[in-house]
Structure 1
């Protein structure tokens, strides 16, 4: 809780503690969220530095879209602050209460947890692309046709309701403190902010071999058939190499950013909810309930067979 104590000291010295004491009982502000709060000014400053260099290239930057991206990110942080304590915390508390072992915090266990959180992130991220329910929230992050630091802030306010946080609950059940899990997750997202840029070319081969880099992540944001649904890593690209989802950025194949079904809107609600609307619209079409429910867990591109096709198969 050292980070929270430091934050409270800053509030006391600035005279803002009374306001904080009035607001904080309504928020789920732990170390994880505090990391995001502290990092946000750094993110904004770094984006402004990048924007000065790319603002004259409309293919790389658009001021109105960048503002939208930060508003989308603010919405994500707001729902996390308001609802994480009500939705996710009880589940983590239950799992940690019934933990299999007591794991003391040390440099070794912290490093182990850092690697494990990244491993679980890989599978969460991969699932977010291949299961439509999770894609309905994650699609917001991929819907921009530009790649810059503001794109990293393009997040969905429904994430806390979507259930992606469940992927990390087994770590609490094993015996890792949920606070540590949250810190590792937050630091992973901070790291990933820095790989959303076109200004950094490929790094040293040793770094490219182990870590997720701007080059690797540009591929991940591509909708080119050769790039789509590849490079799911958070910090360590080795997971993609282990599980067959790694593709290297090719100089002769520029990345085309965005999604295969573009949505052009500056509305926060549209950007957060359009895929949910499409998914439920597909589920509402007439047909067997088992087929309609498959839209929840099938890949985003999956389409139900028509009644005529089903009739032909049954004959």
Structure 2
């Protein structure tokens, strides 16, 4: 297995430089229509990103153990060659699409991913607002491991995907030429993904490519100006609360649940799911889905 570079580590100087450039651009050319920057929000996003590095390191220990076991059990092997790496990146991006999509429609997974959507701003620091419970993503890449892709190659592809998505968290770039917008995930597509309007909810899940959304019917183009954040915002800059608020909400709902069926729904159904009212009683008013 050839040594693969640590893409995220090598990209940190570019992250810092691009963030500074974006921040300065707002100071030189303010945009009243853009969400822009807010110091507390940016500090929270950066803090969440730094915290995720620590927690991701801890989560990797059991995940690598599982991946290694599956890799050793499969007789298949995919070599890391100049022509296999693009195919692995394509396969990883496909798996990422389904990982991302399921993290929006299954509440216990949303409890992890909601962290990334919790800012009402949309700038390059928003890309750093990462969850501390990302152990929910690993099952989506088991098929690649079972087909003989080395765990280190999965980690490399995932890092490339993550680094690509940094630059699309901005309002300073308008729509790009049509061929680019048709194939790749762009700032315009990702602004839709982070918006909280009803027509934009749960759309544009792609990582590097947007073609998966076009194929599987989850693509929506940017028309009206996005309103960023959640449908029910959390109004806190406390990193611990940002990281855990949806888990706390699930725990409250489980304590109030009247049956095991309802408890299962509170965990595995959509974020806004409500149980049907008992016979003879009016149906409970549905809470808005805390999705974005």
TM-score, with structure 2 as normaliser: 0.90
Instruction: Name which of structure 1's ranges 52-61 and 147-156 shifts more when overlaid on structure 2.
Output: 52-61
**2:127 aligned with 1:156:** no
**2:66 aligned with 1:91:** yes
CA distance in 1, matches of 2:169, 2:75: 38
- The structure 2 residue matched to 1:120, chosen from 72, 95, 98, is 95
CA distance in 2, matches of 1:156, 1:311: 38
CA distance in 1, matches of 2:105, 2:249: 16
Higher helix share: 1
CA distances 1:114-151 after superposition (whole Å, capped 9, x unpaired):
10000000000000100001100100100111110000
- The structure 1 residue matched to 2:8, chosen from 18, 23, 36, is 36
1:130 aligns to what?
105
Q: Which runs of 5+ in 2 are unaligned?
A: 284-292
State the structure with more CA Rg: 1
CA distances 1:33-89 after superposition (whole Å, capped 9, x unpaired):
x4323322321221111011125558311122111101000111111123312x201
CA distance in 2, matches of 1:153, 1:57: 22
- The structure 2 residue matched to 1:221, chosen from 148, 173, 194, is 194
- The structure 2 residue matched to 1:266, chosen from 212, 219, 237, is 237
Q: Which runs of 5+ in 1 are unaligned?
A: 5-30
User: Runs of 4+ in structure 1 displaced over 6 angstroms?
Assistant: none
**2:41 aligned with 1:65:** yes
What secondary structure sits across from 1:262 in the alignment? coil
Pairing 1:149-188 to 2, within 5 Å after superposition: 149-160=124-135, 163-188=136-161
1:26 aligns to what?
none
CA distance in 2, matches of 1:91, 1:133: 21
8 Å contact from structure 1 (residues 287, 307) kept in 2: no
- The alignment yields a C-alpha RMSD, in angstroms, of 1.9
Using the TM superposition, give the Cα deviation of residue 310 of structure 1 relative to its aligned residue in structure 2, in angstroms: 7.5
Cα gap change, 1:146 to 1:97, in 2 (>3 Å): same
2:168 aligns to what?
195
Using the TM superposition, give the Cα deviation of residue 311 of structure 1 relative to its aligned residue in structure 2, in angstroms: 10
8 Å contact from structure 1 (residues 91, 169) kept in 2: no
How many residues align structurally?
279
8 Å contact from structure 2 (residues 59, 134) kept in 1: no
TM-score, with structure 1 as normaliser: 0.84
Cα gap change, 1:286 to 1:210, in 2 (>3 Å): closer
